[in-house]
């Protein structure tokens, strides 16, 4: 019997998604398309009668902006938003800023798939020589985290994402769910996958096959032990959802030379 309801949302397109580049901790803004995706998502959630009590986002602007647009569409701008680095996108280390298609051409689709979809293989660490290193680590927001800046990740596997997300989930999100609050998590592809892996008990092998489309709300219904009582539901027009899933999967494939 479903006791709690939770919605996960992967933010919509940013400029780098369009260029197929690993964005990760670079603070990209939503593209015009991404803004539209967020608004459409908000309209859908409003039509379905959702009344949120609390929203969680990462420290990255695209997840926050998505939350704002969703709340605006629903007339729920007054709902509190709590932000944490622990919901940030997976840290792609030295691969940040690289184009997925070029990488697939250079290293092969398989290696890229491994980096993107394996559970415990981390990409190479980012270091000071990386063009985006300063932009990330000099940013003031990372001086406000609950770990010192020097202890923040320099690269992550999906396992490492869950390792830093789970304590926050347990200490901060779960108590709110248990109070009966209707929660929206406005997150990223991999932070959402990590949450799903944890809640649904997806194996290390199977999580590779889980693809979350952008801008599509994922509804979870949980029992009093926070175990799902039914499969996750992607809300909205099912044809659109399939197209969105395909779009994400195609990003991993090498582009043919034109």
Partner 1 sequence: MAAYKLVLIRHGESAWNQENRFCGWFDADLSEAGEKEAKRGGQALKDAGYEFDICYTSVLKRAVRTLWYVLDSIDQMWLPVHRTWRLNERHYGGLTGLNKAETAAKHGEAQVKIWRRSFDVPPPPMDEGHNYYQNISKDRRYGDLTGDQLPSCESLKDTIARALPFWNEEIVPQIKKGKRVLIAAHGNSLRGIVKHLEGMTEEAIMELNLPTGIPIVYELDKNLKPTGPMQFLGDEETVKKAMEAVAAQGKAKK
Q: Catalytic positions, please?
A: 11, 89
Regarding 55 and contact with partner 1 (CB under 8 A), the answer is no
Q: How far is the CB of 64 from partner 1 (least distance, A)?
A: 5
Residue from 18, 32, 51, 242 in contact with partner 1 (CB under 8 A): 51
Contact 101, 141 (CB under 8 A): no
Please report how close the Cβ of residue 246 comes to partner 1 at its closest, in angstroms: 31
Residue closer to partner 1 by CB (options 182, 251) is 182
Question: How many residues form the binding site for partner 1 (CB under 8 A)?
Answer: 17
140 binds partner 1 (CB under 8 A): yes
4 binds partner 1 (CB under 8 A): no
Under the binding rule (CB under 8 A), the answer on residue 179 touching partner 1 is no
- Contact with partner 1 (CB under 8 A) among 31, 61, 99, 219: 61
Long-range contacts of 198-205 (CB under 8 A, 24+ apart): 198/162, 198/166, 198/169, 199/226, 199/227, 199/228, 200/228, 200/232, 204/119, 204/120, 204/159, 205/119
As annotated, the binding site for substrate includes: 10-17, 62, 89-92, 116-117, 189-190
Backbone angles phi, psi at 153, to 5 degrees: -60, 155
Residue 99 interacting with partner 1 (CB under 8 A): no
Distance CA 71, CA 68 (A): 5
202-to-67, 83, 216 alpha-carbon distances in Å: 27, 26, 20
Our finding on whether 175 is near partner 1 (CB under 8 A) is: no
CB burial of 130-163 (b: ≥16 within 10 Å; e: otherwise) equals bebeeebbeeeebeeeeeeeeebbbbbbbbbbbe
Q: Does 49 bind partner 1 (CB under 8 A)?
A: no
Residues of the shown chain interacting with partner 1 in the complex, contacts defined by CB under 8 A: 51, 59-61, 64-65, 68, 72, 75, 77-78, 80-81, 83, 140-141, 144
């Amino acid at each position: 019997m479903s006791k709690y309801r939770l919605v996960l949302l992967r933010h919509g397109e940013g400029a780098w998604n369009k260029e197929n580049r690993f964005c990760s901790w670079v603070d990209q803004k939503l593209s015009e398309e991404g803004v539209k995706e967020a608004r459409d998502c908000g309209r859908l959630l409003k039509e379905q009668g959702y009344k949120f009590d609390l929203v969680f986002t990462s420290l990255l602007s695209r997840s926050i902006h998505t939350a704002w647009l969703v709340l605006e569409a629903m007339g729920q701008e007054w709902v509190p938003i709590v932000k944490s680095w622990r919901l940030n996108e997976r840290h792609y280390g030295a691969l940040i800023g690289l184009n997925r298609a070029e990488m697939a051409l250079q290293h092969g689709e398989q290696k890229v798939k491994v980096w993107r979809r394996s559970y415990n293989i981390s990409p190479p660490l980012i270091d000071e020589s990386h063009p985006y290193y300063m932009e990330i680590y000099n940013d003031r927001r990372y001086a406000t985290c609950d770990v010192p800046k020097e202890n923040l990740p320099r690269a992550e596997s999906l396992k490492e994402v869950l390792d830093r997300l789970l304590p926050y989930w347990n200490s901060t999100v779960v108590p709110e769910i248990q109070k009966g609050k209707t929660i929206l998590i406005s997150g990223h592809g991999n932070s959402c996958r990590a949450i799903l892996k944890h809640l649904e008990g997806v194996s290390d092998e199977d999580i590779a096959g889980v693809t979350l489309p952008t801008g599509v709300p994922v509804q979870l219904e949980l029992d009093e032990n926070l175990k799902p009582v039914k499969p996750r539901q992607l809300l909205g027009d099912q044809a659109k959802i399939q197209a969105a899933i395909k779009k994400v999967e195609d990003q991993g494939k090498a582009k043919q030379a034109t």
